A = this chain, B = another copy of it.
Amino acid sequence: MNHVPFLDAALEEARIGRDEGGIPIGAVLVHAGEIVGRGHNRRIQDGSVIRHGEMDALERAGRRSAAFYQACTLYTTLSPCPMCAGAIRLYGIPRVVIGENRTFLGEEDWLREHGVEVTVVNDPRCIELMQRFIEAHPALWNEDIGE
């Protein structure tokens, strides 16, 4: 599968979040070549501690069967934290494509240990977006990753 349009869509979500004044991380859930859920981090916008980009995309995809999730790929601009990696495992999503893991390294090994196919792109656009945010708002970023 060509990852580019889906990673681009996740990046578009991250930029929407940034333009809303939020933490610029986005994600899309893709089923059979079609985006079925898209979202971005909503900590600032909604005061949410659980709406990371990946969680927001899953929530917006709605209630789905196990068989549905098993035919999905999750695209996210940033390496998934333990909560988001746990959600990927809970629903048995077999493939994750990660925009970058240079600014934050999440639970990629744990996902791989449980059979999830993890692809890391290290797209310079994703890296730059996070670097700029972390430099400008270190306290917000630490809050989002529990540090």
Contact = CB atoms under 8 A, between A and B. Distances in A.
A66 B146 contact: yes
A91 B146 contact: yes
A14 to B, nearest CB: 19
A134 interface: no
Given A47-B63, A85-B86, A92-B146, 6 more contacts: A47-B62, A48-B59, A49-B58, A66-B143, A82-B90, A83-B86
Contacts of A69: 146
A145 interface: yes
Contacts of A55: 50
A83 B58 CA distance: 12
Number of copies of this chain that the complex holds: 2
A90 B145 contact: yes
A102 interface: no
B50 A58 contact: yes
Interface string A28-51: 000000000000000100011111
A126 interface: no
